[in-house]
Amino acid sequence: LKELCYKWNYFGTGFSASPFLLHPLVRAAVMSFDRILPSGTAIGCASDVQILGFGFTFLGYASPPFRCYFGDFGSTSARVVNNTVIECSTPLIQGAQYITVNVSVGSLQNLTVTTSFRVYDPSDVMVTSIAPQAASYNLVGVVKLAGFFLDLGAVSCRFGSFMTSLAVFDPARSVVSCLKPAFPDTERERT
Q: What is the pLDDT of residues 3-39, one digit of tens each?
A: 333 334 444 444 444 444 445 555 555 788 889 999 9
> Given this model, what pLDDT does residue 101 score?
94
- Tell me what the mean pLDDT of segment 40-47 comes to: 91
Q: Which residue has the higher pLDDT, 180 or 3?
A: 180
In terms of Cβ atoms closer than 10 Å to its own Cβ (0-12, 13-18, 19+), residue 62 is exposed
Q: Is the pLDDT of residue 56 over 90?
A: no
Count of CB atoms situated within 10 Å of the CB of 36: 25
Q: Going by DSSP bridges, is the β-strand pair 157-159/97-105 parallel, antiparallel, or unpaired?
A: unpaired
> Given this model, what pLDDT does residue 95 score?
92
* Calpha distance 36→116 (Å, rounded): 10
> Given this model, what pLDDT does residue 175 score?
94
Q: What is the pLDDT of residues 75-124, one digit of tens each?
A: 999 999 999 999 999 999 999 999 999 999 888 887 888 889 999 999 98
Categorize the per-residue pLDDT at 54 as very low, low, confident or very high, splitting at 50, 70 and 90: confident
Categorize the per-residue pLDDT at 138 as very low, low, confident or very high, splitting at 50, 70 and 90: confident
Closest C-alpha among 161, 162, 164 to residue 176: 164
Are 114 and 122 spatial neighbours (Cβ–Cβ below 8 Å)?
A: no
User: Average model confidence (pLDDT) for the chain?
Assistant: 81
Q: How much of the chain is in helix, strand and coil states, percent to nearest 5? A: 5, 50, 45
Categorize the per-residue pLDDT at 73 as very low, low, confident or very high, splitting at 50, 70 and 90: very high
Q: Going by DSSP bridges, is the β-strand pair 79-82/4-10 parallel, antiparallel, or unpaired?
A: unpaired
Are 25 and 12 spatial neighbours (Cβ–Cβ below 8 Å)?
A: no
